[in-house]
Amino acid sequence: MRIVYVLTSLGMGGAERQVLAIASRMADRGHTAALMVLRPQLDEEWPTALQTVHLGIRRSPVSVLAGLWHARRFLRKFRPDLLHSHSFHANFFARLLQVSAPPQVVSTVHNVYEGGWHRMLAYRITDSLSSRTTAVSSAAAERFVQLKAVPRRKCIVVPNGIEITEFSPSTVRREETRAAMGAGDEFIWVTAGRIAPAKDYPNLLRAFACVRAARPKTRLWIAAGTTGAEFERLQTLARSLGIEDCMRWLGLRRDMPALLDAADGFVLASAWEGMPLALGEAMATEKPVVATDVGGVRELVGEAGAIVPPKDPEALAAAMLEILQRTAEDRARLGHAARARVATEFSIDARADQWEALYRSVLAENG
């Protein structure tokens, strides 16, 4: 098969990382895969050896029309069997391309929230241009069906897959990373994700302030971008809570396996999600996890971690403190259960099998 993966950007987010993992697996299986990226190239992107075309689309009608022309020219040369697009902008763009191009389109929804009613209406109006719409969690699929953005008969769930081997725990790497980062004997909580309303970092900072007051030998590491007005507001909040000196903003990181190894627990404070990749990676690294009950979090964690209501820093803090109060042996058992769950139900190779079967089914139905 010849497959083009359509993304809004190759920025260092979980959805982008997941798309690259699937595309690489398809290439390893003998298919021809390429990436079509709507936005201009960014300073910080996930690296890939796959053929990639950046359309350079900006927020103007002229730029969108130029991007459509550029995309159609690329597709005429590449001659794909199928376009697999991800999240609203790429999904809508791929459907527009299907009007005048032969490839079948598979659209993927990566979150329970991808915009307001106007975007849901756009999904509904263009649904006939997509052979299937998949969602990364049952929660996301159900929400889009209820909003009538996707008909139930065309919506299926294909959860995110985790790179089990890459995120295998390593005692040596843990010790080296902790030493390099001056962790000492403190309990390190880590989280990762872009600074955006969905991640609800104010909820996390308020919860950590409660944790720190009860257990002073704890620290918080945050792997996220460190620019923009929202980051400055979070710094101000951290100062007002008195936790600025016991947390570290790590910026965008490419060494998440090492950071997760070095940490003692992972916390996710999101207000909404699809199925958070970073949470699954932490579970694969045998970390005890605490996460808010949003999107597909409960589907991912099961009984292998603590789940609390969103937007409730007291509940989040209580769950973090409960993990801290456990013995090291209890935390290790919880971590082992987390990795076993991910390996059994969410491995990237099993997910690649599912995608390959879906692609063949779509092409057979429309061949």
pLDDT in tens, 297-349: 999 999 999 999 999 999 999 999 999 999 999 999 999 999 999 999 999 99
For 71-106, what is each residue's pLDDT tens digit?
Answer: 999 999 999 999 999 999 999 999 999 886 668 999
Instruction: Give residue 113's domain range.
Output: 2-161+347-365
**Residues 308 and 197 reside in one and the same domain:** yes
**pLDDT attached to residue 13:** 85
The phi, psi pair for 41, rounded to 5°, reads: -65, 140
**Residues 186 and 53 reside in one and the same domain:** no
- 């308020």: which residue's tokens? 206
**Residues 176 and 154 reside in one and the same domain:** no
Please tell me the total count of domains within the chain: 2
Q: What is d(CA 72, CA 95) in angstroms, rounded to the nearest whole number? A: 12
Please report the sign of the dihedral spanned by the C-alpha atoms of residue 275, residue 39, residue 5, residue 149.
Answer: positive
**pLDDT attached to residue 367:** 67
**pLDDT attached to residue 214:** 96
CB 288 within 8 A of CB 317: no
In a domain, 11, yes or no: yes
pTM of the model: 0.92
**Residues 292 and 361 reside in one and the same domain:** no
Task: Map residue 308 onto helix, strand or coil.
Answer: strand
**Residues 311 and 324 reside in one and the same domain:** yes
List the one residue out of 231, 285, 232, 291 whose CA is nearest residue 255: 285
Q: What is the DSSP letter of 32?
A: E
**Residues 12 and 110 reside in one and the same domain:** yes
**Residues 21 and 103 reside in one and the same domain:** yes
For 256-297, what is each residue's pLDDT tens digit?
Answer: 999 999 999 999 999 999 999 999 999 999 999 999 999 999
**pLDDT attached to residue 101:** 65
For 65-82, give the DSSP string: HHHHHHHHHHHHHH--SE
In a domain, 166, yes or no: no
Structure tokens at 252: 């965008």
CB 207 within 8 A of CB 189: no
Structure tokens at 58: 């900006």
In a domain, 201, yes or no: yes
Paired strand residues for 108? 86, 134
**Residues 352 and 216 reside in one and the same domain:** no
**Residues 11 and 150 reside in one and the same domain:** yes
The phi, psi pair for 141, rounded to 5°, reads: -60, -45
**Residues 154 and 68 reside in one and the same domain:** yes
Structure tokens at 241: 């809570």
Q: What is d(CA 339, CA 342) in angstroms, rounded to the nearest whole number? A: 5
Task: Map residue 40 onto helix, strand or coil.
Answer: coil
Sheet holding 306-308, edge to edge: 247-249, 218-223, 187-192, 265-268, 289-292, 306-308
**Residues 341 and 360 reside in one and the same domain:** no
**Residues 341 and 359 reside in one and the same domain:** no
Task: Map residue 268 onto helix, strand or coil.
Answer: strand
CB 290 within 8 A of CB 311: no
Structure tokens at 270: 């999101």
CATH of residue 61: 3.40.50.2000
